[in-house]
Amino acid sequence: MFAEFRQIVRNVLTERKMTYRQLSEKTDIEESTIKCFMCGANDSRRVAEKIADALGMTLMYSNGVYRISENAGK
């Protein structure tokens, strides 16, 4: 469900030279939870929304599909 979002997050983290630990600190989510989400073991909308918010993205849900705003990662 969040495959495209995960790829965008990976790209943004690489561009910003951020680690999962740093993302964990920004989201107030355990690093292990972020790792589970990023590997696909967890499809929590709450986790996705907190990650998006921490990275300055907007995650929108419409007609059963999640979309990332055009300003993703900026």
- At 41-69, the pLDDT tens digits run 998 999 999 999 999 998 887 776 667 77
Q: How confident is the model at residue 71 (pLDDT cuts 50, 70, 90)?
A: low
User: Which domains are assigned to the chain?
Assistant: 3-66 (1.10.260)
Token reading at 67 = 């979309």
**pTM of full prediction above 0.95:** no
Q: How many CA atoms lie within 13 A of 38 on its CB side?
A: 22
- Phi first, then psi, for residue 71 (nearest 5°) are -90, 20
Q: Contact, 55 vs 34, CB < 8 A? A: no
pLDDT tens digits, one per residue of 13-45: 999 999 999 999 999 999 999 999 999 999 899
Pairing label, strands 65-68, 59-62: antiparallel
74's CB contacts (< 8 A; 6+ apart) are 56
| pLDDT score for 65 | 65
